[in-house]
Amino acid sequence: MDVGLLLVNIGLIIMLLASLGLTIIGMPGNIVIFLTALAYGFYDHFVHLSLMDLGIVLGAIILGEVFETFTGAVWASREKASKRAVIFAVIGTVIGGLIGTAFTPIIGSIIGALAGGFTVSWFVEYQLTNDKEHAIRVATSVIKGQILGVIIKFTIALVTIIYLLFNLAW
């Protein structure tokens, strides 16, 4: 094997593992996975990673992002949350994640997203129903859904990385 190819493969593996770490902390690791695979495809002239492979990776990554974004809201609706609370749960999750990232990029991202989703969904649901217990059930279900969304997204990222590793030129 060519030393240059070996170094490129090692660099790719390092980037993919770093991307997996980014994914678990709520950063755009899945996007980095795709961009890394795309760069490898250009390097390899799409011999080992074809455009079809990249399409599969892109589809999986989009699916993971959708799950992460909306699973909390879907779980909130299981508790008969209002549409407003469901919409604001998604917004609170994003804003909380950004604020948490500003304070502590790794742990703060996760804590901020969870706290933002919980707080906003609780507040909106309580304002609409005046029922603290119901608002807490809705907010708790948002948290459960968010955690499930991150697990699904991480799993998709891991499977995507394994798929890419099997397609590298060795």
Per-residue pLDDT reduced to its tens digit, 14-32? 999 888 877 776 677 889 9
Q: Residues 6 or more apart from 124 whose CB is under 8 A from it?
A: 82, 84, 85, 88, 89
Measured between alpha carbons, how far is 86 from 142 in angstroms, rounded to an integer? 8
Give me the number of domains the chain comprises.
1
Measured between alpha carbons, how far is 43 from 16 in angstroms, rounded to an integer? 16
pLDDT of residue 26: 65
Tokens of 79: 């508790």
12 or 73: whose pLDDT is higher? 12
pLDDT of residue 125: 92
Domain of 82, in residue numbers: 3-167
Write the DSSP symbol of residue 2: -
Tokens of 3: 């030393």
143 or 50: whose pLDDT is higher? 50
pLDDT of residue 25: 67
Q: Vertex 88, ends 82 and 93: CA angle to 5°? A: 130
Per-residue pLDDT reduced to its tens digit, 17-70? 888 877 776 677 889 999 999 999 999 899 888 999 999 999 999 998 888 878
